[in-house]
Amino acid sequence: MKKIRMLIADDQTLMRDGLKTIFDLEDDIEVIATAENGEQALLLTQQLRPDVVLMDIRMPIMDGVESTRLIKKQFPEVIVIILTTFNDDEYIVQALSFGASGYLLKDMPGERLIQAVRDGITGNLMMPSSVAAKLAGRLSNMRKAEMDRIKELSERELEIAKLIVQGKSNRDIANMLYITEGTVKNYISAIYNKVGTNDRAKAIEILKHTLDRTDGESEVS
């Protein structure tokens, strides 16, 4: 049986050690490391690639929200579950919007905590409806902001954006549109500025979602 490899991040030594003791008693879970802040959690994730990170929210140096964002950006396959004593919806929703699978409260009984981690691995971790509603609202606002930025693209920028999404290189785009690579780079810089990123992969991700939705709205109208 393949064990679930877990990393526990919490700034309280007693909590870290207690959680490790609880999970080490389970045959299907192995705590491979513990971290005392979000920065350490990120470094250990880079080194050890755990299956799941049990992440406290409020920690020094780097909090759990920022650590979650960086971990999910680099390792989207890693399951991050927020663990907190605070019923702090804003922090929780922010972490969930960065890719956390759900959250658990530290005062949960041990057996429920263990089962919740197993559920998180299979994608079945539940969350309160109030948090789910806030998360949906935040994601909707993020998508609307992205759509608004796409609408700022000129016809030529939109044409190049669609080619970027198709995976065309700068040279390919230049050849297809009969312009220089330097001109293509200038257009792409303008596109990056309007969608709010300098990362090509992230830009493609944003453009793909928003262009699909834009095309769909055009067909309906």
Residue 105 makes CB contacts below 8 A (sequence gap 6+) with 83, 84, 85, 87
Asked if 12 and 105 sit in the same domain, the reply is yes
Per-residue confidence band for 108, with pLDDT thresholds at 50, 70 and 90 = confident
Kindly give the pairing relationship between strand 29-35 and strand 4-9: parallel
Cβ proximity of 31 and 54 under 8 Å: no
Asked if 116 and 23 sit in the same domain, the reply is yes
Encoding tokens for residue 30?
Answer: 């192995």
Question: Higher pLDDT residue, 158 or 135?
Answer: 158
Encoding tokens for residue 170?
Answer: 């700068």
Per-residue confidence band for 132, with pLDDT thresholds at 50, 70 and 90 = low
Number of domains in the chain: 2
Angle, alpha carbons 66-70-71 (nearest 5°): 115
Cβ proximity of 160 and 191 under 8 Å: yes
Residue 132 lies in a domain: no
Asked if 23 and 98 sit in the same domain, the reply is yes
Residue 14 lies in a domain: yes
Asked if 159 and 214 sit in the same domain, the reply is yes
* pLDDT attached to residue 197: 81
* pLDDT attached to residue 141: 67
Per-residue confidence band for 138, with pLDDT thresholds at 50, 70 and 90 = low
DSSP 57-96: SS-SSS-HHHHHHHHHHH-TTSEEEEEES---HHHHHHHH
Asked if 10 and 118 sit in the same domain, the reply is yes
Asked if 174 and 67 sit in the same domain, the reply is no
pLDDT in tens, 185-211: 999 999 988 887 888 887 887 787 677
Asked if 146 and 121 sit in the same domain, the reply is no
Beta partners for residue 33, in sequence order: 7
Angle, alpha carbons 60-88-118 (nearest 5°): 85
The pLDDT of 73-79, averaged and rounded, is 93
Task: Round to the nearest angstrom and report the end-to-end CA distance of the chain.
Answer: 54
User: Rounded CA gap, 171 and 4, in Å?
Assistant: 45
User: Rounded CA gap, 118 and 37, in Å?
Assistant: 24
User: Rounded CA gap, 32 and 179, in Å?
Assistant: 53
* pLDDT attached to residue 115: 86
Last residue of one domain, picked from the residues 127, 160, 184: 127
Cβ proximity of 106 and 85 under 8 Å: yes
Range of the domain at 203: 142-220
Question: Higher pLDDT residue, 61 or 197?
Answer: 61
The pLDDT of 9-19, averaged and rounded, is 94
